[in-house]
Amino acid sequence: MSAGIDIGTSTTKLIISRFSLMNTAGTTHVPRIEIVDKEILYKSPVFRTPLKDYSTIDVEGIEEIIRSQYELAGILPSQIETGAVIITGETATKRNASEMLHHLSSEAGDFLVATAGPDLEGIIAAKGSGAYESSGKSGKVIANIDIGGGTANIAVYKDKQLLGTCTMHIGGRLIEFNNGRVSTISPPVKRLLESYDISLEAGEPINETAVQFTTEFMAGSLARILNRQARPEDEVLLLGHLPNWQEDVDTIVFSGGISECMYRHEAEHEQVAHYDDIGIRLANSLMNNEMLKAFQWQEPIETVRATVLGAGTQTTEISGATIQVASHELPLKNVPIYQYSFHHDLQEGLNRLDEAIQHAIALYDSTEEGQNFALYISELPYMGFKDIQALAKAIIQMMESRPDPDQPIILCVQTDHAKVIGQTLTAMNVRQSIICIDQIDVETGDYIDIGKSLDSGVVPVVVKTLTFHSA
């Protein structure tokens, strides 16, 4: 059972799914357990995200939404074995965002991921909108642009491979109105207008010229970012890094609340409110922008629900039957990855291993506070029993150099060697617990969550990027 909860700038929604697992290898091959079916059991209504004030999330209000929806779905938190609580957009800048996430990730079920990383938001939304799947079928470079109340999260794919990401301050609630007057203006939009000597203040009557300038600038800036032609004036709308993909985008897919203004997928659902903000104006500016029209447009499978669909059904992978885990140490959350390649030469790889471990310690535990890490071992050569023993001895020796050597030894192995390496380490009577998994693709800078062992002996794993951003 999996749950996805998306707490966004404008809206909060939830989805409950059920996964089916199967051994997809033949009877004479090493078992490979994979998710072969995903059934959506329940979709919540779309709720307005409850806030106490501009800078504080109403945690009790969020909990009440989740509790009521679990009851309607007939689900207990204890039944949830994996899933994601995703806090998105401007909501991630709220002062109690981190506190709320980690509270919910334990109260609402055995969640493996609770994150506010804008890059990960874009990746998950691309999977929920259908852009990720389409990139594998079409062979084209597809950019998914998920625009909600506060941010536009861009993820670019080709052949189901992530080419790059970018996040911008573009969203429907960056200017809000109340009774014909401006009620709030986000700081990035305020800076944008000031740079062009345009006046728009909270409390004043709506200045349609200023609002139109804002939405049209957002559309033009987005088009320039997609074309990798950003200008200095676009930087005010950037949240983090510049676009980092190298190939030209062929097709664009809009998801999120703003795409709902374009495509009206939820028109028959009464619970989707129309808010007093620039959302509809922004949607019109995007649809009318000539530079954006030059791309091929693809309608999303999901609009406002793209992120929650991706969070509930697309974040979990399975590490299968060739693993060795100390079950009492699970679940493990937010374990950083350090990738180490043997380049298909065992002895040369062993000679460099000590240096690599010291680099990993310097990277993740330079203050010696006991931050553990997972060593991802890739490009191993063919190994006999003595080679496995030599590798295991080297791992034990190197892991003793950690500031806290009694922490579990966590290994991810690219090939199906996890069980034999884990069993060899156990046979050597290491005092540390052993967590050794395989069939997961990761790299330095990734984080992983490893869930409790399921009845089939496999463990659910989530690979993620954790980044909280500031306003």
pLDDT digits (tens, 9 = 90+) for 116-146: 566 777 888 898 899 998 999 999 999 999 9
Express each pLDDT in 163-189 by its tens digit.
989 999 999 999 999 999 999 999 999
Which residue do the tokens 């200045």 mark? 207
When pLDDT is averaged across residues 261-270 and rounded to a whole number, the result is 71
137: tokens are 């079928």
Amino acid identity, residue 422? G
Percent of the chain residues past pLDDT 70, beyond the cut:
87
Q: Which residue has the higher pLDDT, 101 or 89?
A: 101
262: helix, strand or coil? helix
52: helix, strand or coil? strand
89: helix, strand or coil? helix
| Closest among 152, 147, 91, 155 to 127, alpha carbons compared | 155
Q: pLDDT at residue 469 above 50?
A: no
Give the pLDDT score at 232.
95
Express each pLDDT in 320-343 by its tens digit.
555 788 888 988 887 888 999 999
Give the pLDDT score at 116.
54
User: How far is the C-alpha of 355 from the C-alpha of 344, rounded, in Å?
Assistant: 18
Which residue do the tokens 């649809």 mark? 287
Q: Which residues pair with 336 in a beta bridge?
A: 447
User: How far is the C-alpha of 381 from the C-alpha of 345, rounded, in Å?
Assistant: 6
Give the pLDDT score at 348.
95
Banded pLDDT at 405 (limits 50, 70, 90): very high
* Of the listed ranges 87-91, 223-227, 398-402, the one predicted with least confidence: 87-91
Give the pLDDT score at 270.
42
Q: Which residue has the higher pLDDT, 448 or 271?
A: 448
Q: pLDDT at residue 393 above 80?
A: yes
Which residue do the tokens 């409110």 mark? 273
Give the pLDDT score at 322.
59
Which residue do the tokens 């097709």 mark? 251
136: left (phi over 0), alpha (psi -120 to 50) or beta: alpha
Q: Are 307 and 128 in contact (CB under 8 A)?
A: yes
Which residue do the tokens 């003595």 mark? 386
Q: Which residue has the higher pLDDT, 271 or 175?
A: 175
Q: Which residue has the higher pLDDT, 110 or 362?
A: 362
Q: pLDDT at residue 9 above 90?
A: no
Strand-strand pairing, 181-185 and 251-255: unpaired
Q: Which residues pair with 19 in a beta bridge?
A: 38
* Of the listed ranges 234-238, 285-289, 367-371, 404-408, the one predicted with least confidence: 367-371
Q: pLDDT at residue 268 above 60?
A: no
Across 90-169, where does the E strand assignment appear?
113-115, 142-147, 152-158, 161-168
Give the pLDDT score at 271.
42
* Of the listed ranges 20-24, 171-175, 377-381, 432-436, the one predicted with least confidence: 20-24
370: helix, strand or coil? coil
Q: pLDDT at residue 468 above 70?
A: no
Q: Which residue has the higher pLDDT, 224 or 124?
A: 224
Q: Are 294 and 251 in contact (CB under 8 A)?
A: no
Q: pLDDT at residue 297 above 90?
A: yes
Banded pLDDT at 17 (limits 50, 70, 90): confident
Mean pLDDT rounded to a whole number for the chain = 85
Q: Are 316 and 360 in contact (CB under 8 A)?
A: no
Distances (CA, A) of 414 to 195, 248, 294, 361, 375: 50, 31, 41, 21, 11
| Closest among 302, 256, 250, 305 to 283, alpha carbons compared | 256
Q: pLDDT at residue 49 above 70?
A: yes
Q: pLDDT at residue 25 above 70?
A: no
Give the pLDDT score at 363.
81
Q: Are 21 and 61 in contact (CB under 8 A)?
A: no
Q: Are 299 and 259 in contact (CB under 8 A)?
A: no
Give the pLDDT score at 272.
41
Q: Are 48 and 85 in contact (CB under 8 A)?
A: no
Q: pLDDT at residue 63 above 70?
A: yes
119: tokens are 């890059």
Torsion of CA 63, 66, 68, 71, to 10 degrees: -130
Across 241-289, where does the E strand assignment appear?
251-255
Give the pLDDT score at 184.
92
Banded pLDDT at 462 (limits 50, 70, 90): confident
| Closest among 59, 78, 57 to 3, alpha carbons compared | 78
When pLDDT is averaged across residues 31-42 and rounded to a whole number, the result is 74
Banded pLDDT at 470 (limits 50, 70, 90): very low
Express each pLDDT in 412-461 by its tens digit.
998 888 889 999 999 999 999 999 988 778 877 677 888 888 766 778 88
